[in-house]
Structure 1
């Protein structure tokens, strides 16, 4: 039986590593194996910012990948947490009654949803702001080079 609360917390805390995919679908989950790739590229972008500063062109291309991956996993945690017990048990606990306890929400589920909403939206907005700012600064610099 797959527990909705555990899946929501795994999506929120370990989502960028694909832990929720492995929990729900097993090690054959393609998404579970693909999620660490943008996470690793984003972490490489963080390392480039640390080494070369925020003006590094590769860092503003790679860094948002981490933010978008975290935000997407937070959204997944919200979807899991708000899913009705009937839908949850039908999808992930086949053969179980529609009102089986693993599909029910409790305070820990709501906590995962609230934290995922807070941190997911904050990280998404920060990623968008960082990437757009760097993109437009890069466009201005290219325009200056062309005009000279």
Structure 2
């Protein structure tokens, strides 16, 4: 029989390591394919960040890769919000392993608050920077086509 899973711990795993699928590994184990699908876009996005740091802000490939990191982080924060806001009764039915569960308390609520702040900031930044670079590339293409 599986052990009961803490909703608070799962929320904080999603906040702190969700872009690497740590919350899925905690909840479903190493055989969960969805947990391993978090790694590629996060790592590719980190490669984009490293490229931008070494090659500068005008590197087109880095700005194509960086939004993948932002989307991974946003998805992780959404997971933290969903986990943290799951009613305790539903959580116990799904992950309680037939054991009485204590109320999740403030730990999960604070995790949701942090996830809302971080997720909102990351998502807005990803959209803003991705949109900015897209329009800059469009202007460069029009300028080079005009000459």
Deviation at 1:122, TM superposition (A): 0.3
Distance 2:95 2:64 in 1: 36
TM-superposition CA deviations, 1:3-29 (whole Å, max 9, x none): 000000000101111110010000011
The answer for the alignment partner of 2:117 in structure 1 is 118
Distance 1:142 1:26 in 2: 48
Distance 1:139 1:132 in 2: 11
Q: Give secondary structure in 2 for the equivalent of 1:2.
A: coil
TM-superposition CA deviations, 1:23-45 (whole Å, max 9, x none): 00000111111111111001000
What are structure 2's unaligned runs of at least 5 residues? none
What's the TM-score once normalised by structure 2's chain length? 0.94
What's the TM-score once normalised by structure 1's chain length? 0.93
The answer for the alignment partner of 1:106 in structure 2 is 105
CA RMSD of aligned residues (A): 1.1
Q: What is the 5 A alignment of 1:43-58?
A: 43-58=46-61
